[in-house]
């Protein structure tokens, strides 16, 4: 038997003001998208903005449904739209902001497991890392240099 040690490193910024200009602009677009979320059941709104290598920015937000499981997270709304509108164009960065509608949450909110798995599909296919930036409604921003940092033991097509 041998132990396998898996490490994750994140950069944590004190606030959006500490980010480089491009990251700040992307997070601002995620904040704007969060304001358009449709979250009447959870009152937890999420916004996402992703930057493609062709310079396009795609935004998304959570879309809930009276039949709860029929709703979809912001990250998947955005990345599925990117995949459908610009197939084969690499995703460079993805910014997420999330929290209850009263904006009380100030700790970084990472994407849920299903969203990580969905983002991994695109990262694996494109062969280049997707940077992830995530925050609450305000406050600290965490940044990972690859989806692999958030989902190290990913299930991908190599197992099929
Ligand atoms: N949600 C997202 O949009 N992204 C996540 O990564 C986690 C959760 C949404 C789903 C639901 O509309 C609300 O947040 C509460 O779970």
Which domains, ranges and CATH numbers included, belong to the chain?
Answer: 11-159 (3.40.140.10)
- Cβ-proximal residues to 145 (8 Å cutoff; 6+ apart), any chain: 9, 129, 131
> pLDDT at position 85, please?
98
**What mean pLDDT is predicted for residues 60-76?**
98
What are phi and psi for residue 13, nearest 5 degrees?
-100, 150
> pLDDT at position 149, please?
97
Q: How confident is the model at residue 124 (pLDDT cuts 50, 70, 90)?
A: very high
**What mean pLDDT is predicted for residues 74-86?**
98
Expressed in angstroms, the distance from the first to the final Cα of the chain is: 26
Indicate if ligand 1 lies below 6 Å from the C-beta of 115: yes
User: Per the confidence metrics, is the pTM higher than 0.85?
Assistant: yes
Indicate if ligand 1 lies below 6 Å from the C-beta of 123: no
């Amino acid at each position: 038997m041998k132990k396998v040690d898996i490490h994750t490193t994140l950069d944590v910024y004190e606030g959006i003001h500490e980010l480089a200009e491009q990251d700040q602009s992307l997070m601002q677009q995620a904040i704007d998208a969060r304001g358009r979320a449709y979250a009447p059941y959870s009152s937890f709104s999420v916004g996402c903005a992703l930057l493609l290598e062709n310079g396009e920015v795609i935004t998304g937000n959570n879309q809930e449904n009276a039949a709860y499981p029929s709703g979809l997270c912001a990250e998947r709304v955005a990345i599925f739209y990117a995949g459908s509108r610009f197939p084969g164009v690499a995703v460079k960065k993805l910014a997420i902001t999330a929290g209850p509608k009263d904006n009380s949450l100030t700790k970084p909110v990472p994407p849920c497991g299903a969203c990580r798995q969905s983002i991994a599909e695109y990262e694996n296919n494109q062969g280049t890392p997707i940077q992830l930036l995530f925050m609450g409604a305000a406050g600290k921003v965490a940044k990972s240099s690859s989806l692999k940092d958030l989902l190290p033991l990913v299930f991908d097509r190599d197992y099929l």
